[in-house]
Chains A and B, each alone.
Chain A
């Protein structure tokens, strides 16, 4: 049994250190050289779209300086040192060398919506003008049979080169009968398997595509699963969250353009540059947490003073994601900013584990790592009892260490 309050406090207040932000000069220098020659090679390849990035940027009234500011912010998001900024800028201009195909399966289109909403400083243009989006179900002009043909052309033409973005889960019950697509009635599963076969990598966006998401919430009526459960023998990158943050989608493409490789991933296949930290590590309300100042219930004095939301169910301490840094809608805001608390949407099965009624007071929730434990409130500071501490600390500590399994200490798994 771990010693009580101090230990819990330590777990919740220490920064998680899953990402090594300083890998040393030698590492970065060699990566820099590699990226440079990769970009040289890409430059020699024909552009898939004949659009000059800087022209676009300038025609939108954004000057070179603003653009470089954006590039340096993006470099930081990718957790690269500042010397990479010019390369990131260059990679942005070369985004039209990498074809992207985007499909929607059992989804709500929330990630496409989020993508449409990204515009720093007209990343709309970066994406839509420069990014070679060869196919997008909802956004492209073509529809009907014409759209189907366009997709066939794209996968044929860019065999082995395209990034396949997948939005939505894949229903597997009744032989895939809960979701079919196209004139031939191909099931979502068949569609995914066919399109991922010739992709350079498959990027699952949103919690549905990554872990099955809402459709997979119990009792999972349609047998929904995520991309990584079906696609084998191919790099799969998960960008969970509901919706996924467009900055992270752009980040993955940029990283691919820059290095020709997929970014470093954690055990859940999430890029570490985005999911290497907990929400809690960079939360604007963190000082209040450390000071023990909590919103006790919505609308109280604490709420008016932007105190910590832990006691009204914030899952920031168990959730790995970078929205506390980049926020949503071009940085306009994020859930904790309005006093709602984090719901843990980038963690597996968060629908069943984390989404329990808020405030969390009486809900028995499962630990981030799969163990069973008592309520979060019970291991809220000041409310600790000896039994819950042992379990709670263990589970949370495992999460922080990034392990996927936990040996529950109370014997119930």
Chain B
């Protein structure tokens, strides 16, 4: 038997096609059927144009795209032996902006994307979570709106800010601006304590063992209860191989394939398109079924995202949970929400470190439009995982631009010899509801996947 279901409440839409044998999912395909063609559009444009194009790949993680583009363009300077001097202040403002975007995304994801499906598994009354009108839904949406204002202060607006450029950032916040940013984050921390985990912030940050899961209160407690009632700690396992490409104050790069290794060689990343539609319809391979590509490291599928980050970085609380429940839906969701706490903490610290007397921007000596030929890569940790951009310029114009988003790592079409991460995690499930929750645990973004 074969079924086709629609997955909405992601950015865009996906189709989940499952084959069933004895009421168990024996094969799964995740079809992404929308395409815009950013990489083609960028060809021939001025390199700095990419700074306003790529944030528009996604209305949720535009900051991450902006940051990755800047990294790639600065890497071009490095590759031609013209390393730029980026002040600490500029670096901080970039990282702060990116963190705030992830904070916002994690809050929304929990309330708007994951909980509506999970509360559906229960017969009890969870109407406070219902979309557009439940009390908790509305509260979460207004907390996220308030939090993102702290990014607007340095970014100018959200979504789609373009305040970074090779050499630094354009914004020059005053002390008052920095204080208002702190205030917005304090409100988010209050929400975290009172509504979300029902535990004092400091106390939460000291969680280190499995038993601490019992101390969780508040809305996250609802998730914990629902998980154990519905065996979410037992489903959704993939290969348990993890990769983190980006580095920041909070995140470390590395990969786990049984053992942790901190060496990442970006040249080992490869993409294939055997299962991907071709831009010219007639050239589609016979196996093609969507716009998503496969991406691998050393020819193997790796998972990316908050769980991978927590493991590579060895965050105690998550490591303990992972020891017990492996890479299940439960572990994945808890990791994302745990990251929220650490990001809130770290971002406040980073704001304190901004020295307003430093320069925000130091002009590069050479203009990118004067460069005859060069290449650059950029990586960053976005809400959903590692984001990679590769740009090459010829005669001062973009010659090619390649984007590999986190969702491509997690939600590729798979190939003959191996299922992709999400496919692997879905196969073996006994109901479509659970299969969709597994899929959602990766924080699917269709527009990023296909771009």
B354 on the interface (CB 8 Å rule)? no
Q: How far is the CA of A224 from the CA of B36 in the complex (A)?
A: 8
- Give, as a whole number of angstroms, the nearest-CB distance from A241 to chain B: 10
Q: How far is the CA of A26 from the CA of B316 in the complex (A)?
A: 72
Contact of B49 among A109, A185, A355 (CB under 8 A): A355
Q: Is the CB of A299 within 8 A of B156?
A: no
Q: Which residue of A lies closest to B59 (CB)?
A: A110
CB neighbours (8 Å) of B133 from chain A are 51, 128-129
Q: How far is the CA of A261 from the CA of B408 in the complex (A)?
A: 45
Q: Is the CB of A214 within 8 A of B149?
A: no
CB neighbours (8 Å) of B361 from chain A are 298-299, 303
Q: Is the CB of B59 within 8 A of A112?
A: yes
B130 on the interface (CB 8 Å rule)? yes
Q: How far is the CA of A357 from the CA of B163 in the complex (A)?
A: 14
Q: How far is the CA of A298 from the CA of B157 in the complex (A)?
A: 19
Q: Is the CB of B156 within 8 A of A333?
A: yes
Contact of A242 among B37, B56, B141, B148 (CB under 8 A): B56
Q: Which residue of B lies closest to A329 (CB)?
A: B152
Q: Is the CB of B157 within 8 A of A138?
A: no
Q: Is the CB of B9 within 8 A of A143?
A: yes
Q: Is the CB of A214 within 8 A of B38?
A: yes
Q: How far is the CA of A197 from the CA of B436 in the complex (A)?
A: 33
Q: Which residue of B lies closest to A224 (CB)?
A: B36
B62 on the interface (CB 8 Å rule)? yes
Of B5, B40, B47, B132, which is in contact with the most chain A CB atoms at under 10 Å from its CB? B132
Of A107, A113, A148, A298, which is in contact with the most chain B CB atoms at under 10 Å from its CB? A113
CB neighbours (8 Å) of A218 from chain B are 41, 44
What number of B residues sit within 8 Å (CB to CB) of A? 76
Q: Is the CB of B48 within 8 A of A357?
A: yes
Q: Is the CB of B145 within 8 A of A330?
A: yes
Of B34, B44, B58, B154, which is in contact with the most chain A CB atoms at under 10 Å from its CB? B34
Of A111, A112, A143, A185, which is in contact with the most chain B CB atoms at under 10 Å from its CB? A143
Contact of A336 among B5, B60, B156, B447 (CB under 8 A): B156
A343 on the interface (CB 8 Å rule)? yes
Q: Identify which of A63-71, A119-127, A401-409 touches chain B.
A: A119-127
- Give, as a whole number of angstroms, the nearest-CB distance from B229 to chain A: 20
Q: Is the CB of B6 within 8 A of A338?
A: no
Q: Per-residue 0/1 for B283-320: is the Cβ within 8 Å of any A Cβ (1 yes, 0 no)?
A: 00000000000000000000000000000000000000
Q: Per-residue 0/1 for B96-137: is the Cβ within 8 Å of any A Cβ (1 yes, 0 no)?
A: 000000000000100010001100000000000011110000
Known contacts A118-B145, A221-B40: A328-B157 contact under CB 8 Å: yes
CB neighbours (8 Å) of B46 from chain A are 356-357, 363
Q: Identify which of A36-44, A173-181, A267-275 touches chain B.
A: A173-181
Q: Per-residue 0/1 for B40-72: is the Cβ within 8 Å of any A Cβ (1 yes, 0 no)?
A: 110010111100110011111010000000000
Q: How far is the CA of A158 from the CA of B116 in the complex (A)?
A: 26
- Give, as a whole number of angstroms, the nearest-CB distance from A66 to chain B: 15
Known contacts A141-B131, A339-B172, A355-B52: A110-B41 contact under CB 8 Å: no
Q: Is the CB of B41 within 8 A of A339?
A: no
B217 on the interface (CB 8 Å rule)? no
- Give, as a whole number of angstroms, the nearest-CB distance from A382 to chain B: 21
Q: Per-residue 0/1 for A319-346: is the Cβ within 8 Å of any B Cβ (1 yes, 0 no)?
A: 0000000011110111111111001000
Contact of A143 among B7, B148, B157, B168 (CB under 8 A): B7
- Give, as a whole number of angstroms, the nearest-CB distance from A160 to chain B: 24
Q: Is the CB of A351 within 8 A of B363?
A: no
Contact of A333 among B5, B157, B160, B360 (CB under 8 A): B157
Interface of A is mostly: loop
- Give, as a whole number of angstroms, the nearest-CB distance from A220 to chain B: 8
Q: Per-residue 0/1 for A283-298: is the Cβ within 8 Å of any B Cβ (1 yes, 0 no)?
A: 0000000000000011
A104 on the interface (CB 8 Å rule)? yes
Known contacts A108-B11, A148-B6: A180-B144 contact under CB 8 Å: no
CB neighbours (8 Å) of A219 from chain B are 40-41
Known contacts A133-B132, A243-B159, A356-B46: A329-B145 contact under CB 8 Å: yes
Q: How far is the CA of A149 from the CA of B394 in the complex (A)?
A: 51
CB neighbours (8 Å) of A107 from chain B are 12, 59, 447
B142 on the interface (CB 8 Å rule)? yes
Q: How far is the CA of A27 from the CA of B318 in the complex (A)?
A: 66
- Give, as a whole number of angstroms, the nearest-CB distance from A112 to chain B: 7
Q: Is the CB of B171 within 8 A of A106?
A: no
Q: Per-residue 0/1 for A136-179: is the Cβ within 8 Å of any B Cβ (1 yes, 0 no)?
A: 11111111110110000000000000000000000100100111
Q: How far is the CA of A182 from the CA of B15 in the complex (A)?
A: 8
Of B12, B36, B108, B130, which is in contact with the most chain A CB atoms at under 10 Å from its CB? B36
B224 on the interface (CB 8 Å rule)? no
B346 on the interface (CB 8 Å rule)? no
B205 on the interface (CB 8 Å rule)? no
Q: Per-residue 0/1 for A60-103: is the Cβ within 8 Å of any B Cβ (1 yes, 0 no)?
A: 00000000000000000000000000000000000000000000
Q: Is the CB of B138 within 8 A of A179?
A: no
Known contacts A328-B156, A338-B163, A339-B171: A181-B13 contact under CB 8 Å: yes
Q: Is the CB of B49 within 8 A of A357?
A: yes
- Give, as a whole number of angstroms, the nearest-CB distance from A394 to chain B: 26
Q: Is the CB of B160 within 8 A of A178?
A: no
Q: How far is the CA of A117 from the CA of B151 in the complex (A)?
A: 12
B351 on the interface (CB 8 Å rule)? no
Known contacts A116-B141, A363-B46: A221-B37 contact under CB 8 Å: yes
A358 on the interface (CB 8 Å rule)? yes
Known: A137-B9, A138-B112, A179-B33. 6 other contacts (CB 8 A): A137-B13, A179-B34, A181-B13, A181-B33, A242-B160, A329-B148
A-B contact pairs, 24 of them (CB 8 A): A107-B12, A107-B59, A109-B59, A124-B138, A124-B142, A129-B138, A138-B11, A140-B132, A143-B117, A145-B6, A178-B35, A181-B13, A181-B33, A215-B37, A220-B41, A242-B160, A303-B172, A303-B360, A328-B156, A328-B158, A329-B149, A330-B149, A335-B156, A340-B156
List of 8 A-B pairs having minimum Cβ-Cβ separation, nearest first: A110-B59, A299-B361, A357-B46, A328-B157, A221-B37, A335-B156, A141-B131, A109-B59
